[in-house]
Amino acid sequence: MPYKVSNEKLTLREQAYLPEMIRGLGVTARHFLRNLFTRRDPAPEILDREGPCQITTVQYPEEKVEYPPGYRGLHRLVPREDGSPRCVACYMCATVCPAQCIYIEAGEYPADDPSAPNRVIERYPTKFVIDELRCIVCGFCVEACPKDAIRMDTGLHAVSSEERRAFMLEREALLRGPAVEHPSDPWRKREDSSAPEHGEKEAHRRISPRKNGG
């Protein structure tokens, strides 16, 4: 939006230059002295600050700006209550990822795993690696996940390091944060992967396996 330039004639005082310049230096000196001798409110949110000190600088990394909700921070693999990842290695995140930065290998929990969720959902990621250098932080992986197993709600920046290897986050580094469980999770409906008993007697259940011939 263009604004109108004032072309009013300068007064004699302004034309003299020096008094106006001294006035301007006075403004600067007032700010300088006030910020120098008054204490700064440490609240990092600029709008929340109180007191005469007007410094707007955030003293990073001692102070950090709080990010708004929905900020896409560092990924995390969401754990279940028993500590195992919610992820079932379905590859949806790896498929949708435009930067192809997610690498997954799937494995199978044994049928007699001590943890009930693992008995019900046998598939899990033996390897889950995110290359944070490749990641473009688009959040598609979070959108694609059908199990609410990957989130970007840590509020953290990507890691910083001097070597590339440190940016390849493995499963152990990604599995963090509070556990999440939903009422619809399958392990809340059954104990393991076997067929639950039901009321009706079925014909084939009356046949008992014969162990020694005959």
Partner 1 sequence: MPDDTKPRQPPEPQPRSVPPRPRVKLTIDDREVEVDAGTNLLEAARAIGVQIPHYCYHPRLSITASCRMCLVEASNSPKPVPACQMPATECLVVQTRSALVKEAQRATLEFLLLNHPVDCAVCDQAGECKLQDYYQEHDAQPSRLAGPKIQKEKRRVLGPLVTLDQERCILCTRCVRFMCEVAGEPQLGVFGRGSHEAIDTFPDKPLDSNYAGNTVDLCPVGALTNSDFRFTARAFFLTATPSVCTGCARGCSVWLDHFNGETYRYRPRENVAVNGPWMCDVGRLSYKPLVHDRALEVKIGRAGEGRTAEGREAARFAIEKLKPLAGSERLAFVASPTASVEDLLATFRLASEGLKLKRVFVSGRAADKGDRLLLREDRNPNRLGLDWVAQAFGLKVEPFERLVEEIDAERVKGVLAVGEDVPTDPKLVASLLLNLDPVIVLATNLGPVAGMGHVLLPSCPCSEDDGTFVNFEGHAQRFVAAYRTRGQSRPHWTWAATLLEELGVEVGWRSARDVFAELAPRVAQLAGFDWASAPGYLTHPRGLRTLPAAADARHGIHRERS
Question: Which residues of the chain form contacts with partner 1 (CB under 8 A)?
Answer: 88-92, 95, 106-108, 111, 120-123, 146-147, 186, 189-190, 193-196, 198, 200, 202-204, 207-211
In the complex, least distance from residue 115 CB atom to partner 1, rounded to whole angstroms: 15
In the complex, least distance from residue 196 CB atom to partner 1, rounded to whole angstroms: 5
User: CB-wise, 103 or 167, nearer to partner 1?
Assistant: 103
User: CB-wise, 6 or 194, nearer to partner 1?
Assistant: 194
In the complex, least distance from residue 133 CB atom to partner 1, rounded to whole angstroms: 20
In the complex, least distance from residue 2 CB atom to partner 1, rounded to whole angstroms: 50
User: CB-wise, 182 or 211, nearer to partner 1?
Assistant: 211
Q: How far apart are CA 187 and CA 131, in angstroms?
A: 31
In the complex, least distance from residue 158 CB atom to partner 1, rounded to whole angstroms: 26
DSSP the chain: ---PPP-PPPPHHHHT-HHHHHHHHHHHHHHHHHHHHSPPP--SSGGG--SS-------TTTS-PPPPTT---S-EEPB-TTSSBS-----HHHHH-TT--EEEEEEE--TT-SSHHHHHS-EEEEEEEEETTT-----HHHHH-TTS-EE--S--PPP--SSGGGGEE-HHHHB-S-----TT-GGGT-SSSSPPP-SSPPGGGGPPPPSS--
**Residue type, position 171, single letter:** R
User: CB-wise, 47 or 203, nearer to partner 1?
Assistant: 203
User: CB-wise, 91 or 167, nearer to partner 1?
Assistant: 91
User: CB-wise, 83 or 209, nearer to partner 1?
Assistant: 209
In the complex, least distance from residue 1 CB atom to partner 1, rounded to whole angstroms: 47
